[in-house]
Amino acid sequence: MDVARRRGAHAALATTALLASALALSSAATAAPGKPGEPRYSAGAAGAGDPYFPRAGNGGIDVQHYDLDLRYTPPAPAPAPLEGRLEAVATIDLTATQDLDQFNLDLRGLTATSVTVNGKPASFTQPGDLAVERPEGSTPQPNELVITPRPKLKEGRSAEVVIEYGGTTRQPVDIEGVPYGWVTTRDGAMVASEPEGSATWFPVSDHPTDKATFTFDVTVPKGLVAVANGDLTGNATTGNWTTWSWDAPDLMAPYLATATVGNFELTEYTTKAGVPIIDAVDRDIAGTNRTTTNATLALTGKMMEFFADVYGEYPFIAYGSIVDDDSLGYALETQTRSLFSRRATEGTAAHELAHSWVGNAVSPQRWADIWLNEGWATYSEWLWAEHRGRATAQTAFENVMAIPADDEFWDVVVADPGPTGLFLAAIYDRGAATVHALRAEIGEKAFSRLTHEWVDRYDDATATTADFEALAEEVSGQELTAFFDVWLHTPGKPTAW
Decide: 441 and 447 in contact? Cβ < 8 Å.
no
* Torsion over CA: 431, 195, 45, 128 (sign): positive
- Shortest spacing between CB 400 and ligand TRP, in angstroms: 16
By CB under 6 A, tell whether 330 contacts ligand TRP. Answer: yes
Give me the residue whose beta carbon is nearest to Zn ion: 377
Classify each residue of 86-124 as buried b or exposed e, where b means 16 or more C-beta atoms within 10 Å of its C-beta: bbbbbebebebbbbbbbbbbbbbbbebeebbbeeeebeb
Q: Which is nearer to ligand TRP, 3 or 46 (CB)?
A: 3
Q: Which stretch binds ligand TRP (CB under 6 A): 44-52, 62-70, 74-82, 331-339?
A: 331-339
- Shortest spacing between CB 377 and Zn ion, in angstroms: 4
Within 130-258, strands assigned E span 131-132, 141-142, 144-148, 158-169, 181-185, 188-192, 212-221, 225-228, 231-238, 241-252
Dist CA 461 CA 465 (whole Å): 14
By CB under 6 A, tell whether 180 contacts ligand TRP. Answer: yes
Decide: 480 and 447 in contact? Cβ < 8 Å.
no
Going by the DSSP 8-state scheme, the letter that residue 169 receives in this structure is: E
Q: Which is nearer to ligand TRP, 146 or 383 (CB)?
A: 383
Within 57-125, strands assigned E span 61-73, 84-96, 100-106, 111-117, 120-121, 123-125
Dist CA 462 CA 274 (whole Å): 27
By CB under 5 A, tell whether 377 contacts Zn ion. Answer: yes
Q: Which is nearer to ligand TRP, 324 or 333 (CB)?
A: 333
Dihedral (Cα; 389, 3, 210, 188), 10-degree rounding:
-120
- Shortest spacing between CB 256 and Zn ion, in angstroms: 12
* Torsion over CA: 290, 295, 301, 305 (sign): negative
Binder among 332, 350, 412, 426 for ligand TRP (CB under 6 A): 332
CA distances to 243, 279, 371 from 269, in Å: 22, 9, 33
- Shortest spacing between CB 292 and ligand TRP, in angstroms: 17
By CB under 6 A, tell whether 326 contacts ligand TRP. Answer: no
Could you say which of Zn ion, ligand TRP, none residue 416 binds, taking C-beta under 5 to 8 angstroms by partner kind? none
Q: Which is nearer to Zn ion, 8 or 34 (CB)?
A: 8
Q: What track of x and - describes contact with ligand TRP for positions 345 through 374 (by CB under 6 A)?
A: -------x---------------------x
Q: Which is nearer to Zn ion, 122 or 377 (CB)?
A: 377
- Shortest spacing between CB 260 and ligand TRP, in angstroms: 11
Could you say which of ligand TRP, Zn ion, none residue 332 binds, taking C-beta under 5 to 8 angstroms by partner kind? ligand TRP
How many residues of this chain bind ligand TRP (CB under 6 A)?
12
- Shortest spacing between CB 448 and Zn ion, in angstroms: 22
Q: Which of residues 181-200 bind ligand TRP (CB under 6 A)?
A: 192, 194
- The SS3 call for residue 257 is coil
Q: What track of x and - describes contact with ligand TRP for positions 402 through 441 (by CB under 6 A)?
A: ---------------------x------------------
By CB under 6 A, tell whether 5 contacts ligand TRP. Answer: yes
Give the amino acid at 256.
L
Residue 43: name the closest of 147, 114, 124, 151 by CA.
147
- The SS3 call for residue 116 is strand
Could you say which of Zn ion, ligand TRP, none residue 43 binds, taking C-beta under 5 to 8 angstroms by partner kind? none
DSSP element (H, E) containing 193: none
By CB under 6 A, tell whether 52 contacts ligand TRP. Answer: no
Q: Which is nearer to Zn ion, 108 or 351 (CB)?
A: 351
Q: Which stretch binds ligand TRP (CB under 6 A): 156-164, 258-266, 272-280, 326-334?
A: 326-334
Dihedral (Cα; 197, 202, 207, 210), 10-degree rounding:
-160
Q: Exposed (0-12), middle (13-18) or buried (19+): which is 164, by Cβ within 10 Å?
A: middle
By CB under 6 A, tell whether 110 contacts ligand TRP. Answer: no
Query: Which residues here bind Zn ion, judged by CB under 5 A?
Result: 374, 377
Query: Which residues here bind ligand TRP, judged by CB under 6 A?
Result: 3, 5, 180, 192, 194, 330-333, 352, 374, 423
